[in-house]
Amino acid sequence: MKIGFIGLGNMGGPMAANLAKAGHEVTGYDTAQVAIDGVTIAGSAAEAAKGRDVVITMLPNGDILKAVAAEIIPAMETGTVFLDCSTVDVDSARNVGQDAEKAGLLPLDAPVSGGVGGAQGGTLTFMVGGSEDGFAKAGPLFDIMGQKAVHCGPSGNGQAAKICNNMILGATMIATCEAFALADKLGLDRQAMFDVVSTSSGSSWSMNTYCPAPGVGPKSPADNDYQPGFAADLMLKDLRLAMQAAETADADTPIGAAAAELYARFVEEEDGKGRDFSAMLPRFEKRGRG
């Protein structure tokens, strides 16, 4: 396929490289100077999008996505798949989807989980909103860039699935970290805590797969001085998107709101910026109730 790829950062760069390695003809564009193995760099987003079968975007936020969409939609031919893999707010995803559909394109919002490691290894999970037709056409590309793609319904539902998942993740990570810190203070050994909780009703991905305690459970960023992994800053971004969506939809999300507030404090007032989101554990360790 002829693929346009706009936004060649930490995630988009390796995703585009994997598509090129698999034999697709990839033309990329980024506002920063980048060089990606096997990818021809175009002079503008419109040039990267013109005449392609599929155009992929992997951008920082909804405003940038909307600006790029306004530039590339007129350049794309009817029937082209417009595959946005960025994490953005549900409203921006739906607005861009509507504009693209009006122009005769097949828009998909397909945010990912799996992080930079997943992008490099081609093992991302895609949560996809949009038409059956678009989903089927993009299928071979999901297979190269990822290990799983779930069709979640119409436009915007991919973003909805992503922020709901990450709201659960933020909340369970905080709960797991505060429970470890309480267990420490009660004199409970961390290994015993892991052995019990990981096989009991308190288990979760945060405990079992991504344990925030160093030296306990499977290898995780905790064992690498809390280098991300999944940065606390990105968790904060996703929690804020969840709160924005909850407000629009009039949904009551008290635990999500508490998680958003705590990650905001951690990243913006404490030492959380640039650290893995599981570094909440050393944060709680140092604190008392006051």
User: Could you list the residues that contact ligand NAD (CB under 6 A)?
Assistant: 6-12, 29-32, 45, 58-60, 64, 67-68, 86-87, 112, 115-116, 230, 234, 237
CB-closest chain residue to ligand NAD = 9
Instruction: Please name every residue paired with 41 in a beta bridge, in sequence order, or none if there are none.
Output: 28
- For the question of residue 162 being annotated catalytic, the response is yes
Q: Please say which residue, 5 or 180, places its beta carbon nearer to ligand NAD.
A: 5
Q: Please say which residue, 137 or 237, places its beta carbon nearer to ligand NAD.
A: 237
Q: Please say which residue, 23 or 274, places its beta carbon nearer to ligand NAD.
A: 274
Pairing relationship of beta strands 112-113 and 124-130 according to DSSP bridges: antiparallel
Locate all alpha helices (DSSP H) within 250-278, ordered by sequence. Answer: 254-268
Q: Please say which residue, 58 or 259, places its beta carbon nearer to ligand NAD.
A: 58
Residue 34 CB, nearest distance to ligand NAD (Å)? 7
Residue 117 CB, nearest distance to ligand NAD (Å)? 8
Tokens coding 19: 């598509």
| CB burial of residue 101 (10 Å; 0-12, 13-18, 19+) | middle
Find out whether the peptide bond into 187 is cis, omega within 30 degrees of 0: no
Rounded Cα distance between 85 and 88, Å, is: 9
Closest CA to 163 of 251, 226, 83, 95: 251
Q: Please say which residue, 62 or 183, places its beta carbon nearer to ligand NAD.
A: 62
Select which of 66, 162, 185, 273 is catalytic.
162
Rounded Cα distance between 123 and 90, Å, is: 24
SS3 of 187, please?
Answer: coil
Residue 93 CB, nearest distance to ligand NAD (Å)? 11
Q: Please say which residue, 62 or 284, places its beta carbon nearer to ligand NAD.
A: 62
Residue 116 CB, nearest distance to ligand NAD (Å)? 5
Residue indicated by tokens 């990650």: 263
Rounded Cα distance between 100 and 107, Å, is: 6
Residue 191 CB, nearest distance to ligand NAD (Å)? 29
Pairing relationship of beta strands 54-57 and 2-6 according to DSSP bridges: parallel
Distances in whole angstroms, Cα of residue 1 to Cα of each of 35, 86, 122, 167, 287: 21, 21, 18, 36, 54
Q: Tell me, what amino acid is at 229? A: G
Q: What are the percentages of helix, strand and coil residues in the chain, rounded to 5?
A: 50, 15, 35
Q: Which residues are catalytic?
A: 162
